[in-house]
Amino acid sequence: MRRNRSPGLLLAGAYTILCFLAISYIVVSSTITHGQFELAGMFILILGLPWSIIFAITLASFHMSSAWIAAGAMLLSCIMNGYLLYKIGSRLSWRF
């Protein structure tokens, strides 16, 4: 029996693994450097593009500077990108 894997599932799975590794790196580096993890957050910021920039500008325009809100926005941007990758990949088809 041939297994039919959706390209969308593979793309979203690979992206989710990358996001999980970036978040793990933030946790590990903040533990080692005792809270100085600004540069460690760049990986999750880049993975969340373009939504992370849109959320950052929106939060700045409302004068919100909470680290928890920013972390939630980065996580939400990764979820949105993963969903988009799944939808785009689902429209593709493997032809073998």
Report d(CA 79, CA 76) in Å as an integer.
5
List, for residues 69-85, the tens digit of each pLDDT value: 777 888 899 999 999 99
Tokens of 86: 């799944």
Give the position of tokens 């978040």: 23
Q: At what angle do helices 67-91 and 7-33 cross, to 10 degrees?
A: 160
What's residue 3's pLDDT?
57
In this structure, what DSSP letter does residue 93 have? -
List, for residues 22-48, the tens digit of each pLDDT value: 888 888 887 887 766 677 788 888 888
Domain extent listing, the chain = 7-91
Tokens of 96: 């073998």
Task: Give the dihedral of Cα atoms 80, 24, 64, 54; nearest 10 deg.
Answer: -30
Full-model pTM: 0.77
